[in-house]
Amino acid sequence: MTSIVGLFTDVLPAGGVQRAGRHVAAVCAKFASGRGMTTRFLSLNDPRGLHTVRVGSLEFPFPAMRGARFNMPWRHCARRGAIRRW
């Protein structure tokens, strides 16, 4: 199965960059759902754990790995995120 993987710095704060990231993720999720694809998103700076993000009527999971980029290379986080089912 084909997946879209998105790696973001953070998505939960109210800033403009974070808002843009949420919208990019929402567009990717909508695109993928219409084509039978899956999505895997990962936030590097939001508090660790699984968060739910809502953009309009679309809601999707967004796991966060605060500090993970200092503990392991970000490529490893992205690869692990793409393989793992959330």
What Rg value do the Cα atoms of the chain yield, rounded?
12
Per residue in 45-78, pLDDT (tens digit) is 899 999 999 999 988 888 998 765 454 545 555 5
β-bridge pairing 58-64 and 3-8: unpaired
The model's confidence at residue 2, banded by pLDDT at 50, 70 and 90, is: confident
* Domain ranges, ordered by start, for the chain: 3-83
Tokens for 50, please give them: 């699984």
- Look at residue 26 and tell me whether its pLDDT is greater than 60: yes
Give the pLDDT of residue 81: 57
